[in-house]
Amino acid sequence: MRVAMIGTGYVGLVSGTCFSDFGHHVTCIDKDVGKIERLNRGEIPIYEPGLDDLVRRNVEAGRLDFATDLTQAVKEAEVVFIAVGTPSRRGDGHADLSYVHAAAREIAQVAEGFTVVVTKSTVPVGTGTDLEHIIREAAPEADIAVVSNPEFLREGAAIEDFKRPDRVVIGTTDPRAREVMAALYRPLSLNAAPILFTERNTSELIKYASNAFLAMKITFINEMADLCEKVGGNVQEVARGIGLDGRIGSKFLHAGPGYGGSCFPKDTLALMRTAQEAGSPVRLIETVTTVNETRKAAMGRKVLEALDVPPRGATVAVLGLTFKPNTDDMRDSPAINIVQSLVDRGVTVRAYDPEGMHEARKVLPPSVIYTSGAYECAEGADCLVIVTEWDAFRALDLDRLKSVLKSPTVVDLRNIYPPVDLISRGFKYTGIGRGHPSSPGE
Ligand SMILES: NC(=O)c1ccc[n+]([C@@H]2O[C@H](COP(=O)([O-])OP(=O)(O)OC[C@H]3O[C@@H](n4cnc5c(N)ncnc54)[C@H](O)[C@@H]3O)[C@@H](O)[C@H]2O)c1
């Protein structure tokens, strides 16, 4: 099957490559000329484990190519995906659909024969209907069906998630489109992935409801962490104790500095706006977004409180900058708030991230000093803060760390170290939701 993928970012590049690995012929298209040039040179513009190999193999097999112009690929394609960005619109939090609308117009003008246009971008309920109007206006004769097929992959585990998804959601009531989508995803049936066909609005809503629910789960455990700190309790044990209940589940119950990333912050806001306008506000999610913003702001204060010296003139080493491990994505990372609030108080920030420093330079204050590794980062610092739980930070030589730090103070915002490991070596320790730093479960 011929597939065109419009937008070659985290979602477009991974899903396009995985479709080609299933045997389809895929052209990934992007307006960003630099990105396509790099891909054509065999370079991968994002960090995603395993993606470089998969791209290379499928390019070599002649099933995957890249272009800046969509005309040829869309003409030939039976399925055209829209996987462009849908960031928050400045000012009101709505999803900015200008890239999606522009892509739909361009597709309409060149599509030939029956073409299924699929929104893989996360788009508010009703967008599919709007796209039908846009396409009809741009090309009244075009034979196009608009389908919703939201993407649930997680950066850092994107290939595995795409190939072995918990489910595939396809929103369409058009029988021809359903047949095409079923054929496209047939290779996944070997992996026993449930394919859920729904009406289009429902499919669009499923994506927002999923992300909002996950954001709520994280925020719930973060509030439990705060409570543990006040009343005495260990949030990791609380999480385990509730997570073993099958109705709750153990995933997304890791207390931390607040959720960030390219999806949860913008998708919760967009859902709130949709719901408010529909006269059916999602008050739980309104609270979740407020609690999360407050939390991210509070994390800088937590670090400042841990310092034994005045902030002005102090040095803080920040380990981990990306919003989660195994990605270079800095979008809405809690590190941005933390670093900014430290710099605002006159702190010198040293930082290290295994993959995110290139992106971090674009969004962090220019005074941040980037270092080449965890120990180099800690060198001479009055405090070490772990912001992202990269594997590389999980087994640091604590004695070496202590010897390079100016003051042995650690703020572990991901609870990757048992407090006792640090306290027994003479570190001053602050974690998340550790009202009892040494409990029997450690
Ligand atoms: N990143 C994730 O983990 C993830 C997961 C699930 C869903 N999503 C959703 O998928 C969508 C894409 O997200 P992303 O993280 O891949 O975005 P991204 O910003 O990494 O990539 C989007 C790409 O689209 C390109 N683009 C924009 N308009 C174009 C046009 N008219 N023609 C060709 N290219 C165009 C941009 O140049 C950019 O390279 C968003 O709606 C997002 O919410 C993202």
Per the listing, tokens 């006159």 go with 346
Rounded distance from Cα 260 to ligand 1 centre (Å): 17
pTM: 0.96
Using one digit for the tens of pLDDT, what is the confidence trace for 332-383? 999 999 999 999 999 999 999 999 999 999 999 999 999 999 999 999 999 9
Assign 3-class secondary structure to 325-378: CCCCCCCCCHHHHHHHHHHHCCCEEEEECCCCHHHHHHHCCCCCEECCCHHHHH
- Please list the ranges in the chain whose pLDDT falls under 50: 440-441
Using the Cα atoms of residue 109, residue 112, residue 116 and residue 118 in order, give the sign of their dihedral: negative
Res 90: pLDDT: 86
Known catalytic residues?
263
Contact 332, 345 (CB under 8 A): no
8 touches ligand 1 (CB under 6 Å): yes
Res 269: pLDDT: 97
Instruction: Choose one of 5, 8, 11 to mutate for the ligand 1 pocket test, by most ligand atoms within 8 angstroms of C-beta.
Output: 11
Res 91: pLDDT: 84
121 touches ligand 1 (CB under 6 Å): yes
Domains of the chain plus CATH, in order, are 2-198 (3.40.50.720), 228-430 (3.40.50.720)
217 touches ligand 1 (CB under 6 Å): no
- Give dist(CA 50, CA 327) in Å, integer: 12
10-21 and 51-60 helices, crossing angle to 10° = 50
Using one digit for the tens of pLDDT, what is the confidence trace for 75-128? 999 999 999 999 999 889 999 999 999 999 999 999 999 999 999 999 999 999
Reported as type and span, the H/E element at residue 110 is helix 98-110
Of ligand 1's listed atoms, the one at least distance from the Cα of 106 is: 31
Using the Cα atoms of residue 199, residue 197, residue 65 and residue 71 in order, give the sign of their dihedral: negative
- Give dist(CA 280, CA 267) in Å, integer: 17
31 touches ligand 1 (CB under 6 Å): yes
Amino acid residing at 419? P
Rounded distance from Cα 331 to ligand 1 centre (Å): 12
6 touches ligand 1 (CB under 6 Å): yes
* HSE of 147, CA atoms in CB hemisphere, 13 A: 31
